[in-house]
Chains A and B, each alone.
Chain A
Amino acid sequence: MSLLHLAIIAPLLYAILVPLFYKSFRQIHTGWFVLPLPIILFAYFFSYISTTRHQAIVMETLNWIPSMGINFTAKVDGLGLLFALLITGIGSLVILYSIYYLSKTKEKLNTFYTYLLLFMGAMLGVVLSDNLIVMYAFWELTSFSSFLLIGYWYQREKSRYGAQKSMIITVFGGLAMLGGIILLHLMTGSFSITEIIAQAHDIVNHSLFIPALLCVLLGAFTKSAQFPFHIWLPDAMEAPTPVSAYLHSATMVKAGIYLVARLTPVFAVDGLWVWLVAGFGIVTLFWGSFSAVKQTDLKSILAFSTVSQLGLIMSLLGVGAAALHFPGVEDNLYIVATTAAVFHLINHATFKGSLFMVAGIVDHETGTRDIRKLGGLMHFMPITFTIAIIGTFSMAGLPPFNGFLSKEMFFTGMLHVLELDLFNFQSVAILFPIIAWIASVFTFIYSMMLVFKTFTGKHQPEKLDKKPHEAPIGMLISPTILASLVIIIFFFSNSLLSENIIEPALAAIFPGLLTEGTGFMVHIDIWHGFKPELFMTLGVIAFGILLYLTYPKWRKIYKLFPDKLALNRLYDGILERAQNGSNRLTNSYMTGSIRSYLVYIFTFFIIILATSLFVKNAFKLDTSKVSSIGIYELLLALFIVIGAISTVFAKTRLASILLLGAVGYMVSLFYVLFRAPDLALTQLVIETVSVALFLVCFYHLPKLRKEDSRVRFKLMNALISVGVGIMVTLIALSAHSNKFFQSISQYYIENTYTEAAGKNMVNVILVDFRGFDTLFEITVLAIASLGIYGMIRLRLTRGDEE
C-alpha cells in the first residue's frame, strides 16, 4: 500500500476515531479534531502539482481481486488532481465553517463528522481510481454518505423525504452506470480506464457501444442533477448548510461532471455523446436558471442555480468533446469549451461554496431563509453582505470576478457551435448560443435577487425570530477565503491556474490530441477586445437589470406552467403508482386461499409438462415390452377406479373414509398379484391402522357438507384434475416406453445371500444395502408420533389461559 492509497482512504480510517473523540472530549468541538486531516491531505495533493504540470501521471496499484482484473489502482493526473484539491480544499473550509455552524451541545457531532469523512474518502476514491469497479464502489459510497447527511436531522419528515429521493435517483443512475461499466468490460476485457481509452477507436462500432454510452451517461446525469433528474437536488437542501455547501455544490454533484470528462476520450468518438451531453447540459442550464428565479428560499435558489451551473459545465464538456474530431491542439476551436468547463468548475466551487455559507449565516443569525421575510440586512451584516456581493456577481458573470472570465469563455464555446459541421449540428446550432444567452439573463436575475432581496430594501424585524447581527468571526473565515479566491482567480488566473491545473486537466481529458513535446497552451484573457461575447455579456446585464426591476409584472409567467406537470409530481406519482401497483398485483394473486395456490401449482404442472412433452416430441407408446393383462388385475383395476371416483361423490364422511380404506385394501391386493408380499403385508396393516385412526377421530371430525361453491369453480377443479390425471398417465406411458439401461437389481438378486446372508431381498435392501433410508424413515415416524402427542397434549394458546 502506497502513501497515495493511504491518503485516499485516510478519511475512511479516520472516521472510526471520530466517535472516540466525541465521547472522550465533550468540551471541545469534535470538528477541531477532524479539521487537520483535510488540510494535511490538501497539502499532500498540492505537492503533486509539480508532477502533473509536466504531464506526468502517477499510478499505484494495490491488488484487490487480481483474478478478475479488479485492483485498487490509484491514478493521479491533471483531472483527478483538480478534483482532489477541490475535495480536500473545500472540505477543510466546510469543516471549519461547520465548527461554528453546528452547536456542540445540541447536535450529534459524532455522526455528522463520521458521515462527512466517509463522504470525503469516497469522493477522493471516485476521482483517483483508475479501475472502474473500484470507482463504482466509491461512487455508491458517496450516494450512501450523502443519503446519511441529507437525513442528518432525521426527526424532520422533509429530511427523510429528501434523503430517500436523492438515494433512489442517484442509486438508480449508479446501477445504470455499473451496467455501462460491465458492457465496457465486455467490449475491452478491462476495467482500467487507461486501457479502455487506449482501445476507444476499436470499440466504437461494437454493438454494445451505444448501450454502454447511454448507461454511463445515465449515471453521470443523475449524479450531477441534469434535467430531468435534477429534482433530488432542491430537496437535498434539507441537509445542514455545510453539507449543502460541500456535497451539493462543490463536490458530489460534480462527480457526474468528472465521469463525463474522464470518459470523453472513450465515448466522444461517437456523435451521440456530443449531442446528449451538450443537449442535456444546455436544457438543464436553461431550466435550472428559469426555475431558480421563482424560488423564495435562499437555499432553493442556490440549489436550482447549482443545477443550472452544472448544466453549463456539462454543455461545455459536450461541445468540447467535438475537439477530438479535429487534429492537433493548434487552432482547435473546441478546446476552448473544455477549458471553459474546467475553469468554470473551479470558479463555481469557489463562489457557490461561499454563497451557501452566506445562506447558512443568514439562516443562523435571523432564523429564516425566506427572502420574503428578509431584507435590509446590509447594516447588520456588512461582512456577509460583501461576501454575498462577490459571490453573486461572480455567479452572474460580472467583472472583476472569476465568473466573468468563465462566462465569457462559455459564450465563446457556444458561439463555436455555429461553426461545428459534424453530426448534423448545423441545423440546431443557432439554438445553443441563444439558449445560453437567455439562461444567462435568468442567472443574472436570480443572482441579483439573492443578494438584493436579502440585504437591501426594507428591514422587517417583526417577521424574524431573532434579532439579526453579524456572524461570529469563525463562521466568516471560510466564506471570506472563498470570496477572496473569487477575486484572486480573476486577476491571476493565468499564473495560478492555467499551467498548474487547467492544462494538465485538459491533457487528461484529451490524451489522444497531444503529440510528443506539445502541450495545451491555456491563456485566459481578462480583456479580449470587442468580440461578440462581450456584447452578449453587456446584453445580459442590460436585459437582466430590466427584467429584475420589472419582475413583479412578469412573475405571472410562472403561473402558466401548470403545477401538475411538474417533475416532482411525476416522481411522486411514479413512486406512489409503483407502491400501489405492486400492492395490488401481490394482492391479486396472493389471495390467502390454499385452493388458489394449489390451482396455480397444478396449472403450472400441467402447462409445463404438456409443453415439454409437445415441444420435445417426447410422447412415445411402445407396446412391445408390456406384460400381458390378467383377468384378476383387470377386475381389481376396475374396482380401484370405481372406488376412487366414488370418494369424490361421497356424501357422508363415513362413506369417504370407508371408500379410501377400500381403495387401500385393493392396492394391497395389487401388491399380492404383482408378487410383493412385504408390501402387501405392510399396506394391509397400515390401511387398517389408518382406517382405525380415521374412525377414532370420526366422532370429532367435521361433518362432510356439500360443497357450497359455484358450478364454475367445480368445473374448473374438474378440468384441472382431469388435466393432472391425463398428464400423469401420459408421462407414465412415455417413461415406460423409454428404457435406456438395465436395472441395477440384478446385483441385489445375486448378492443378497452371499453378501448379506438373507433370502428376503426386499428386507435385505431395507436394512442392509440401503439401511440409511430405513433409519430416517424410523425418524420420520418418531417425529410424527411426537408431533401428534404434542398437538394433543400441548394447548398453550387457549386452553390453559382460559
Chain B
Amino acid sequence: MEIVMAIVVGILFMTATYLMLSKSLLRIIVGTGLLSHGAHLLILTMGRLKRGSAPLLGEKGPYTDPLPQALILTAIVISFGVTAFFLVLAYRAYKELGTDNIEKMRGNRGNE
C-alpha cells in the first residue's frame, strides 16, 4: 500500500507544481492546496500504514502510530490558516491591481 501511496503523493506534488508554475493567482492557490494534501498524506505514509486500531485506548490493540497523526493535525490547521490568508490576499490583490496575472503584478524594477 505504501508504494501506491508514494505514487499518489508524487502525482499530487506533480499537479501542485504544475499549477504553481502557472500565471493565474487562483491556480497557484489551488496548487498550494494540493501540495498540502500531498504533504499530509506523505507524513501519514511514512509513519507506516500498518493495520491496527485507531489510537484510542478503548479499542483493542495493537494501535496505529499516533505521532504522525498529531503532526498532521497541526499541519492541517496551519495550512488552513495560511490558505485562508493567501486567498484573501489574492482577492485583495485582484481588487487593487485589477489583474490576477502574476506576470503583470510587477512593481518597479529594483535597479532601475
* Chain A residues with CB below 8 A from B110, complex form: 590
Give complex CA distance A728, B34 in Å: 14
Contact of B2 among A627, A702, A726 (CB under 8 A): A627
- Verify B41–A670 contact, CB threshold 8 A: yes
- Chain A: which residue is nearest B55 at the CB level? A761
Name B's interface SS: helix
Give complex CA distance A702, B22 in Å: 14
**A194 interface hit (Cβ, 8 Å):** no
- Verify B84–A595 contact, CB threshold 8 A: no
- Chain B: which residue is nearest A686 at the CB level? B80
- Verify A702–B11 contact, CB threshold 8 A: no
**A589 interface hit (Cβ, 8 Å):** no
- Verify B42–A640 contact, CB threshold 8 A: no
- Verify A729–B9 contact, CB threshold 8 A: yes
- How does the 8 Å CB contact mask read for B59-88 relative to A, with 1 for contact and 0 for none? 001011111011011101110111111011
- How does the 8 Å CB contact mask read for A658-674 relative to B, with 1 for contact and 0 for none? 01100110010011001
- Verify A788–B14 contact, CB threshold 8 A: no
Query: For window 1-42 of chain B, which residues contact chain A by CB distance below 8 Å?
Result: 1-27, 30, 33-34, 37-38, 40-42
Q: A644-B34, A701-B26, A761-B66 are in contact. Are A784 and B3 (CB under 8 A)?
A: no
B51 to chain A, nearest CB (A): 6
- Verify B70–A664 contact, CB threshold 8 A: no
Contact of B18 among A664, A718, A729 (CB under 8 A): A718
- Verify B70–A759 contact, CB threshold 8 A: no
**A626 interface hit (Cβ, 8 Å):** yes
Give complex CA distance A697, B94 in Å: 11
Give complex CA distance A773, B76 in Å: 13
Q: A667-B37, A702-B25 are in contact. Are A743 and B72 (CB under 8 A)?
A: no
- Verify B44–A586 contact, CB threshold 8 A: no
- Verify B74–A707 contact, CB threshold 8 A: no
* Chain A residues with CB below 8 A from B66, complex form: 745, 748-749, 761-762, 765
**A2 interface hit (Cβ, 8 Å):** no
**A792 interface hit (Cβ, 8 Å):** yes
**A529 interface hit (Cβ, 8 Å):** no
**A9 interface hit (Cβ, 8 Å):** no
Interface size on A, residues (CB 8 A): 101
* Chain B residues with CB below 8 A from A743, complex form: 47-48, 65, 67
Contact of B1 among A586, A627, A728 (CB under 8 A): A627
Q: A732-B9, A748-B67 are in contact. Are A648 and B21 (CB under 8 A)?
A: no
Contact of A780 among B37, B58, B81 (CB under 8 A): B81
Give complex CA distance A38, B16 in Å: 74
Q: A697-B88, A729-B6, A766-B70 are known; give 5 further A-B pairs, CB within 8 A.
A: A641-B11, A701-B26, A724-B13, A728-B10, A743-B47
Going nearest first, the 3 A-B pairs with the smallest beta carbon separation are A725-B14, A729-B10, A702-B100
B contact set with A: CB distance below 8 Å: 1-27, 30, 33-34, 37-38, 40-42, 44-58, 61, 63-67, 69-70, 72-74, 76-78, 80-85, 87-92, 94-96, 99-100, 102-103, 106, 109-111
A contact set with B: CB distance below 8 Å: 583, 586-587, 590, 592-595, 598-599, 602, 621, 623, 625-630, 633-634, 637, 640-641, 644-645, 647-648, 653, 656-657, 659-660, 663-664, 667, 670-671, 674-679, 682-683, 686, 689-690, 693-694, 697, 700-702, 704-705, 707, 709, 717-718, 720-722, 724-726, 728-729, 732-733, 735-736, 743-745, 748-749, 752-753, 759-762, 765-766, 770, 773-774, 777, 780-781, 783-785, 787-788, 791-792, 797-798
User: 20 A-B contacts, Cβ less than 8 Å apart?
Assistant: A592-B106, A593-B106, A633-B4, A637-B4, A637-B8, A641-B11, A647-B30, A656-B27, A663-B37, A670-B44, A717-B22, A721-B16, A722-B14, A725-B17, A726-B10, A743-B48, A753-B57, A780-B82, A785-B84, A791-B88
